[in-house]
């Protein structure tokens, strides 16, 4: 498969531009059309079709593809990747600046787009989708035009979902494996003695055999090919397949990257993205519109304001690009709605993420001496559940859209329960493997009772995260 991708680059290139075309049509045309009426359906109104394509199919199933195939989407299909690389081929070719290398961008960009998307109701309105997705695409083009020569600096450093994709692809059962020994052999400069002997007493003639250097690989996300170990930064484009006779797409254990590489490669920004991003801000973003607590708090504050003749927070004159404003659809946010939305998502992030982090820290402490790196390592065991949460939240939009089309899925909640149980078991399995990995580094090994004690707070953290989805799908 890797070889096919490399040798059929022209086919991939055409496919990429086809995706760009479809993406542009689905993004731009609905924003120019009147909003669909209540009878509009995906098969008779482009706006409904685009809504379904972006939020019902594209987002949830791109997340699934990360876990199955790594970042194949990024390397082969993503329209922003194609556009930023194209712009970089024709742009200024500046070096990647220091500010862009800051490790916090994946967290900040994910949180920023998630929260802003909620403020403007990105899932419901095409103008908001054009602003959020189109804004990101324009930024990708500008960054591509300015920085690097034909590379994807945007994807590697700034894309709002780069961090999430990098985390999920750690679970993929395949990666481009680099065989260091084969690479070394391919670079070897050999010296062979000539087969025939020279005259006695004269030096043996030596024939130097130098292999021609393999042509450089055009790795768009700028991976350090020789030392690449995991799949998180690789876009699975196949361009390096067979390079130096040492790189090939291969199967691997889906635990390998989290358990073995995470011990040294897990960072605090990844922990923030898992704990406060995917298990905090994202939960708040999916919760607020369904939460009776949100409504109760809003009513209490509105009553309090009216009793004191303070009316400006109840005005709904914010522009649509700041807060949702569609009077014809009876959908307008007041300033109070906007402020509460931000406060609710922020509080959710602190509560869900804070408790999860505290339980992780307790698990690390029970497993042995405190180590911050171990905390970041163990946080990676939450990736399956964190990823599934975002999938469930997005697939709820899929189901709502399907309902609008007259398709009902009565088994949805049973499937959600099964998926939550499976993802929780997967996370627990990873945590157990991580703790066992620590034992190998720390003689004498932990007693089994101590291992269990370390896993107990982790299991509580899983139950705590599961309960967030319990509120959304069962208890509210």
Binding site for ligand SF4 (CB under 6 A): 75, 176, 217, 219, 221, 223, 225, 228, 234-240
DSSP letter assigned to residue 174: E
Q: Is 326 helix (H, G, I), strand (E, B) or coil?
A: strand
Cβ contact 344:284 at 8 Å: yes
Task: Name the token pair of 321.
Answer: 């690009």
> Is the Cβ of residue 178 or residue 435 nearer to ligand SF4 in the bound state?
178
Q: Is 254 helix (H, G, I), strand (E, B) or coil?
A: coil
Cα 342 to chain centroid distance, Å, stands at 22
**Please, what is the minimum distance in Å from the beta carbon of residue 96 to ligand SF4?**
16
**Please, what is the minimum distance in Å from the beta carbon of residue 2 to ligand SF4?**
7
**Please, what is the minimum distance in Å from the beta carbon of residue 391 to ligand SF4?**
24
> Is the Cβ of residue 240 or residue 392 nearer to ligand SF4 in the bound state?
240
> Is the Cβ of residue 96 or residue 459 nearer to ligand SF4 in the bound state?
96
Cα→Cα distances 165→155, 220, 270, 410, Å: 10, 16, 11, 30
> Is the Cβ of residue 65 or residue 271 nearer to ligand SF4 in the bound state?
65
> Is the Cβ of residue 240 or residue 360 nearer to ligand SF4 in the bound state?
240
> Is the Cβ of residue 75 or residue 284 nearer to ligand SF4 in the bound state?
75
DSSP letter assigned to residue 203: P
* Cα distance between residue 331 and residue 116, in whole Å: 17
> Is the Cβ of residue 177 or residue 437 nearer to ligand SF4 in the bound state?
177
> Is the Cβ of residue 209 or residue 216 nearer to ligand SF4 in the bound state?
216
**Please, what is the minimum distance in Å from the beta carbon of residue 239 to ligand SF4?**
4
**Please, what is the minimum distance in Å from the beta carbon of residue 156 to ligand SF4?**
10
Q: Is 142 helix (H, G, I), strand (E, B) or coil?
A: helix
Burial class from Cβ neighbours inside 10 Å (0-12, 13-18, 19+) for residue 471 reads middle
Closest CA to 473 of 423, 400, 384, 381: 400
CA torsion sign, 335 to 338 to 339 to 344?
positive
* Cα distance between residue 476 and residue 472, in whole Å: 6
Residues contacting 199, CB < 8 A, separation 6+: none
**Please, what is the minimum distance in Å from the beta carbon of residue 238 to ligand SF4?**
5
**Please, what is the minimum distance in Å from the beta carbon of residue 116 to ligand SF4?**
29
**Please, what is the minimum distance in Å from the beta carbon of residue 11 to ligand SF4?**
16
Pairing mode, strands 325-326 and 331-332: antiparallel
**Please, what is the minimum distance in Å from the beta carbon of residue 137 to ligand SF4?**
20
To which residue do tokens 């400006």 refer? 312
> Is the Cβ of residue 241 or residue 324 nearer to ligand SF4 in the bound state?
241
Residues contacting 277, CB < 8 A, separation 6+: 107, 110, 111, 114, 163, 164, 349
């Amino acid at each position: 498969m890797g070889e096919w991708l490399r040798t059929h680059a022209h086919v991939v290139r055409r496919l990429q531009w086809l995706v760009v075309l479809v993406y542009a049509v689905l993004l731009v045309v609905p924003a120019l059309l009147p909003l669909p009426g209540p009878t509009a359906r995906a098969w008779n109104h482009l706006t409904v079709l685009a809504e379904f394509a972006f939020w019902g199919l594209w987002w949830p199933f791109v997340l699934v593809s990360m876990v199955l195939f790594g970042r194949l989407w990024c390397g082969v299909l993503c329209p922003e990747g194609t556009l930023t690389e194209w712009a970089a081929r024709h742009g200024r070719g500046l070096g990647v600046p220091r500010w862009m290398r800051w490790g916090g961008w994946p967290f900040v960009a994910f949180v920023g787009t998630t929260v802003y998307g909620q403020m403007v109701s990105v899932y419901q309105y095409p103008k908001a989708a054009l602003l959020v997705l189109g804004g990101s695409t324009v930024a990708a083009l500008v960054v591509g035009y300015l920085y690097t020569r034909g590379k994807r600096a945007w994807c590697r450093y700034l894309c709002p979902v780069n961090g999430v994709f990098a985390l999920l692809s750690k679970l993929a059962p395949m990666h481009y494996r680099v065989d260091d020994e084969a690479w070394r052999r391919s670079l070897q400069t050999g010296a062979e003695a000539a087969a025939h002997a020279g005259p006695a007493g004269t030096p043996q003639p030596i024939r130097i055999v130098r292999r021609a250097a393999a042509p450089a690989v055009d790795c768009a996300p700028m991976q350090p090919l020789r030392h690449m170990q995991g799949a998180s930064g690789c876009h699975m484009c196949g361009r390096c397949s067979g390079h130096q006779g040492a790189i090939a797409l291969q199967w691997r254990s889906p635990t390998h990257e989290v358990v073995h590489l995470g011990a040294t490669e897990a960072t605090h920004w990844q922990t923030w993205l898992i704990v406060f991003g995917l298990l905090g801000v994202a939960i708040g973003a999916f919760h607020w519109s369904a939460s009776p607590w949100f409504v109760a708090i809003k009513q209490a504050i509105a009553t309090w304001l009216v009793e004191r003749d303070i009316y400006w927070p109840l005005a709904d004159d914010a522009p649509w690009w700041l807060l949702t404003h569609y009077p014809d659809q009876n959908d307008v946010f007041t300033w109070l709605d906007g402020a509460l939305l931000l406060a609710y998502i922020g509080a959710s992030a602190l509560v869900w993420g804070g408790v999860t982090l505290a339980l992780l820290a307790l698990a690390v402490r029970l497993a042995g001496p405190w180590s911050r790196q171990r905390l970041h390592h163990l946080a990676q065991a939450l990736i399956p559940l964190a990823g599934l949460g975002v999938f469930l939240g997005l697939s709820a939009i899929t189901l709502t859209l399907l309902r609008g089309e007259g398709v009902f899925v009565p088994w949805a909640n049973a499937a959600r329960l099964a998926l939550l149980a499976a993802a929780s078991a997967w996370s627990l399995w990873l945590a157990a493997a991580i703790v066992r990995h620590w034992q190998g580094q720390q003689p004498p090994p932990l007693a089994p009772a101590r291992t269990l004690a370390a896993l107990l707070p982790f299991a509580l953290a899983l139950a705590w995260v599961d309960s967030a989805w319990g509120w959304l799908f069962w208890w509210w």
